[in-house]
Amino acid sequence: MRIPESDQESAHSVSLDSAPQAGPSSLGLDGPGPSNGHTNGNGFTLPSTNGFTNGAGVVGNGVQKHGKSVAKVSLLGTALYADGSYVDREEFVRLVIQSLRDVGYIESAATLEAESGYTMEAPEVSQFRQYILEASWSDAEDALTRLGVTDSDGLWVCYHLCIGSVPYVFRYQEAKFFIGQQKYLELLEAGKTTLALQVLRNELAPLNVAQDQLHFLSGLMMCSDPTDLRQRAEWDGASGTSRRELLTVLQRYVPASIMIPQRRFSTLLQQAQSHQRQQCVYHNSPLDSKAFSLYEDHQCDKDVFPGTTTAILDVHVNEVWNIEWSHDGSYLASASKDKTAIIWRIDDPSIRDYTAKFVLRDHSFPVGCLAWSLDDSILLTGADNEIRMWNTKTGVCTLVLDSQHGHQETVAALSWLPDGSGFISGGLDRRIILWDAEGNFKDSWGETAIRVTDLAITPDLTRVVAVGIHYLYDLATKQTELSFPLEGELSSVKISRDSRYALVNRTQNEIYLYDLHSGRLARKFAGQRQGKHVIRSCFGGIDGNFVVSGSEDGNVYVWQCDTGILLETLPGHGEGSVNSVAWNPTNERMFATCSDDHTIRIWEAPLRESGSRVTNRSSSNGKGKTRQQSNGDGVDFDSAFGAWVDG
Amino acid sequence: MGMVYRIYLEGERIYGCANCKTHLATIHSMMSRAFNGQHGRAYLFETVVNIIEGEPIDREMTTGKHTVRDISCCKCRTVLGWKYDRAFEPLQQYKEGKYILERNLLVDVQ
Ligand SMILES: [Zn+2]
C-alpha cells in the first residue's frame, strides 16, 4: 500500500518499533569514510554499501536510528523499470520486504521500507495475523472489519465491494465462520465440550452459512478422543499447521493488496521454475539449486539423456520378453522364452560388470511376467498358468502357487499391492486373483469381461487397471468403474506415480495415455511399431517426463510425456522386437530394454571417463557374462554392437 | 518372433487340443467332416489358430499327390494334423491353404 506523505512518520515508527535496531552497528565507521554514495538520476544521494548516512543529527525525510537515518528516495513513475515493463514498483518492493522479513533480514526490510516509502502491510494486518496464530479469536473477528472484510459500512467497503462473484455482504459472515470453526475445533480438542457447544450454537449457527458444514461440525461432538477428532475433521490440531491454514483461507477474504499472500515472491519464482520445467524437453534433474538457478533459465542438457548403451546382458538363450527392476534399483529381473528368469546384479555403475546372480530354471514354459515384492526379498514369476515364488537372496524357488485356485490359462500379469500385504495376478482365463504375501489364495474377481493381458494397481491403492484383449478395464474394489472399449489387443499398462494416468500399449502402433480421473484419452504417442506382439512401455525420468516403449522394428522410442513429442529413436538391439522397457526406480538416468535378440541393454548417458573400452568378457563366477563399453573414446556403438547381436 | 499370447476363440463350439486345451478352431470354420487321418476320422477347417507348421513334404493321399505340412499344437507340440500347401489334382485344389485336424486329438473347450 502507498503511504501518503503525511502518514509517513507514523507508519515508519510502527514498522520499525517491531523490528530490532536498524543499522549495521557492527561496522563502526566513524568518519565520512570512503565515498560510498552516489547520485541517481533524480538528484538524490543514495547511500550505498553501509546504507546509512553517518553522523548524528541528520533528520529529515528519513528514519533515524542510532543517529543514522535513511532518506526516502523519490522515483518517477510507478514501474520498476522505465522501459515500459509492466512490473509495478510498489508491488515489487512490498514483495521484497515480505521476503526479507520471512528470512529474518528485519533491519534490511525496515531500511527498504524507509527508503522506498512503501510498507509491506498496515499494522492492522500483522496484528490480525498475530491474533489468529495466538488464538485470540474475538480480537481476530474485530480485526476482520478493520481489514475491510465487512458487511456493513466499514472502512474500505467501497474499495472491495465484492471479490469475484461473491457479494461482499456474505464475505464477513463466511470469514467469521472459518474463525469460529477453528475456535470450535480447538475447544473440542481440548475437551471443553460445553464451551464448544456454545460456540456452535451461539456463534456459528446464527451466521447462517454452510449448513452442511455446521451439521458435520456438530457430528464431531461424538468423537471419542482428540486423535479421532483430528482424523475425522482432517484437521491437524491447535499445535499443528491448522492456524496457518486458517490464515491461508482467510486470505481469500482480504484483498491481496492489503494482506499479501504468504511467501508471494517465492510463489512467483516457483511459477517461473515450473514454466521453465515445462519448456525443458529433456528434463531429468531434481528441483534443486544445481538444476534451477535464479541466475539463468533452466535447461537440461540433452547430452545427459540416457540414450547410450553402456552394457549388454547376454545370458538368455532365447527371446527376452519382460524385465522388472527391484525397488532398490540394484537388481534387474528378466523373463525369457528360454523358460528361465534371471536376476541380474546392477548395483555398481562404476564397474558395469553386471552379472547374472541367479538363473531361475524350474519353469516348463516361457516366462512372461515378473514382480518384485516391496522389500525385494521375493520375486514372482509367471509362466503359462503357473506362478512361482523365489527367494531373491538364495535363488531358490520357495513356492509354486496353488494351481487348484489359480489360473486355468496363461498368467499375463503379476503386481504386488502398494501396501505389501499381498499381490494380484491376472490371466487370459479372465480371472484376477488376490494372493496374500505368503502366496496363499485369498480371493478371486471371478470372470471379467476381458482376457487380462496386463494389470497395474494405482500407488494410492484406489484402482486396479486391467487391460486385455478387446477392452481396457478399470476395476475399483471389484466394481467396474470405467471401461474403454478399444479396437485391437492391449498388451501393457503402467500407472503414473500420481495414480492419475494409465499408459496403455495396443496392437495398432499406438500408445495411449488415459486420464483415470476424467476417463478421457489424454495423449497418444506414435512412431513405434506394434502389430501382433506384446510390446510394453513405461514412464521414465525424474518425474515421469519420458515415455519409453519397445517396438517391433527393433528400436527403442522415447517421447516427452507432456507433449507427446518423439524425442529419441534408439537403435542398437538386433533382429526382432524390443519387447519391454523398464526405467530404474532409483537412478533417473538409467533404463533397461529387452529384445528378441536374447539380450538386455542398459542405457545411460555417455560415459565421461576415458580409458574404458568396449570389452566382451565373461564374469568370474561363470554364471553370466556381460559386455561393456564406453564411448569415452568415440567408439561407434551401433556398428560395434551390430556384430555382436547373435554372439 | 516376439511375445504373443495364444489366441482365444469365441463361438458356440470351439475345438481345442485334447492334450492341453489350447483353442484351435471353431465349428464355423469347419468345411467337411468326411476326412480320414492317421487316428481315424478327421475334419477339414478353413482356419486354425495356435499351431506350428512343419516343413512342406509331398505325400501320396487317397485323392492323389499333395504338398502338406504337419501342424502341431503351439503349447504342447502334439501333432494334430496337417495343412495342404498344394494339391496336384485340379479337383482337389479347394483344399489348398486349408487344415486337417484329427477328431480324436480334439476336445470341446470354452
Ligand atoms: Zn496342446
| pLDDT (tens digit per residue) in A16-38 | 333 333 333 333 333 333 333 33
Cα angle for residues A325, A327, A328 (degrees, 5° grid): 100
Domain interval for residue A73: 5-121
Out of A409, A428, A534, the one facing B3 most closely (by C-beta) is A534
Same domain, A496 and A427: yes
Q: Touching check for A537 and chain B: CB below 8 Å?
A: no
> Does residue A155 lie in a domain region?
yes
**ipTM of the modeled complex:** 0.86
pLDDT band at A495 (very low <50, low <70, confident <90, very high): very high
Same domain, A336 and A258: no
Contact criterion met (CB < 8 Å) for B8 and A579: no
pLDDT tens for each residue of A330-363? 999 999 999 999 999 997 666 667 889 999 998 9
Which pLDDT score, from 0 to 100, does residue A352 have? 66
**Residues from chain B contacting residue A581 (CB–CB below 8 Å):** none
Please choose, from the candidates A464, A387, A397, the residue with its C-alpha nearest in 3D space to the C-alpha of residue A427: A387
CA of B73 to the centre of ligand 1 (A): 5
Maximal CA-CA distance, chain B? 40
Q: Touching check for A608 and chain B: CB below 8 Å?
A: no
Q: Does the structure show a pLDDT above 90 at A597?
A: yes
> Does residue A523 lie in a domain region?
yes
The secondary structure of residue A302, as a DSSP letter, is G
Question: Could you tell me if residue A395 is left (phi over 0), alpha (psi between -120 and 50 degrees) or otherwise beta?
Answer: left
Contact criterion met (CB < 8 Å) for B2 and A577: yes
Same domain, A117 and A132: no
Q: Does the structure show a pLDDT above 50 at A118?
A: yes
Q: Touching check for B94 and chain A: CB below 8 Å?
A: no
Contact criterion met (CB < 8 Å) for A428 and B6: yes
Which pLDDT score, from 0 to 100, does residue B21 have? 93
> Does residue A293 lie in a domain region?
no
Distance between A410 CA and the closest CA of chain B, angstroms: 8
Average pLDDT of the residues in A2-9 = 40
Q: Touching check for A470 and chain B: CB below 8 Å?
A: no
**Residues from chain A contacting residue B75 (CB–CB below 8 Å):** 365, 384
Same domain, A532 and A586: yes
- Are A179 and A243 in contact by the 8 Å Cβ rule? The answer is no
Q: Does the structure show a pLDDT above 50 at A157?
A: no
The grid coordinates listed for A376 are: 525385494
Contact criterion met (CB < 8 Å) for B6 and A533: no
> Does residue A187 lie in a domain region?
yes
Contacts of A634 (CB under 8 A, 6+ apart): none
Same domain, A563 and A453: yes
Q: Does the structure show a pLDDT above 50 at A68?
A: yes
Which pLDDT score, from 0 to 100, does residue A253 have? 82
Distance between A348 CA and the closest CA of chain B, angstroms: 31
Same domain, A451 and A490: yes
Distance between B101 CA and the closest CA of chain A, angstroms: 22
- Are A253 and A261 in contact by the 8 Å Cβ rule? The answer is no
Q: Does the structure show a pLDDT above 60 at A405?
A: yes
Q: Touching check for B10 and chain A: CB below 8 Å?
A: no
CA of A508 to the centre of ligand 1 (A): 29
Place of cell 460456540: A199
User: CATH code at B53?
Assistant: 2.170.150.20
Question: Which chain B residue lies closest to A554 (C-alpha atoms)?
Answer: B2
> Does residue A224 lie in a domain region?
yes
Sheet-wide strand order for B14-17:
B23-26, B14-17, B106-109
Out of B3, B8, B75, the one facing A533 most closely (by C-beta) is B3
The grid coordinates listed for A637 are: 556403438
Total domains in the fold of chain A: 3
**Residues from chain A contacting residue B4 (CB–CB below 8 Å):** 532-534
> Does residue B3 lie in a domain region?
no
**Residues from chain A contacting residue B1 (CB–CB below 8 Å):** 319, 337, 533, 576, 596
Residue A108: φ, ψ to 5°:
-60, -40
The grid coordinates listed for A384 are: 503359462
Out of A319, A368, A410, the one facing B1 most closely (by C-beta) is A319
Burial of A532 (0-12, 13-18, 19+ CB in 10 A): middle
Q: Ligand 1 being an ion, which residues bring their Cβ within 5 A of it?
A: B 17, 19-20, 22, 73, 75-76, 78
CA of A318 to the centre of ligand 1 (A): 21
Average model confidence (pLDDT) across chain A: 79
Distance between B19 CA and the closest CA of chain A, angstroms: 14
Contact criterion met (CB < 8 Å) for A412 and B3: no
> Does residue B65 lie in a domain region?
yes
Please choose, from the candidates A424, A401, A428, A429, the residue with its C-alpha nearest in 3D space to the C-alpha of residue A414: A424
Contact criterion met (CB < 8 Å) for B2 and A319: yes
Same domain, A101 and A172: no
Out of A384, A534, A576, the one facing B4 most closely (by C-beta) is A534
Domain boundary among A214, A232, A262: A262
Distance between A278 CA and the closest CA of chain B, angstroms: 36
The grid coordinates listed for A438 are: 505368503
Contact criterion met (CB < 8 Å) for A534 and B5: yes
> Does residue A290 lie in a domain region?
no
Domain interval for residue B19: 14-109
Q: Touching check for A597 and chain B: CB below 8 Å?
A: no
> Does residue A364 lie in a domain region?
yes
% residues pLDDT > 70 (chain A):
76
Torsion of CA A380, A382, A386, A388, to 10 degrees: -20
> Does residue B35 lie in a domain region?
yes
Same domain, A154 and A114: no
Average pLDDT of the residues in A486-499 = 82
Q: Touching check for A386 and chain B: CB below 8 Å?
A: no
Same domain, A173 and A37: no
DSSP symbols for A38-96: EE-TTS-EEE-TT-SB-STT--SSSEEETTEEEPPPP-SSSBSSSSS---BHHHHHHHH
Please choose, from the candidates A396, A464, A382, the residue with its C-alpha nearest in 3D space to the C-alpha of residue A429: A382
Which pLDDT score, from 0 to 100, does residue A487 have? 61
Same domain, A134 and A247: yes
Same domain, A217 and A169: yes
Q: Touching check for A65 and chain B: CB below 8 Å?
A: no
The secondary structure of residue A200, as a DSSP letter, is I
> Does residue A294 lie in a domain region?
no
% residues pLDDT > 70 (chain B):
100
Which pLDDT score, from 0 to 100, does residue A158 have? 29
pTM of the predicted structure, to 2 decimals: 0.72
Query: How many Cβ pairs within 8 Å bridge chains A and B?
Result: 43
Beta-bridged to residue A551, according to DSSP, are: A578
**Residues from chain B contacting residue A337 (CB–CB below 8 Å):** 1, 3
> Does residue B6 lie in a domain region?
no
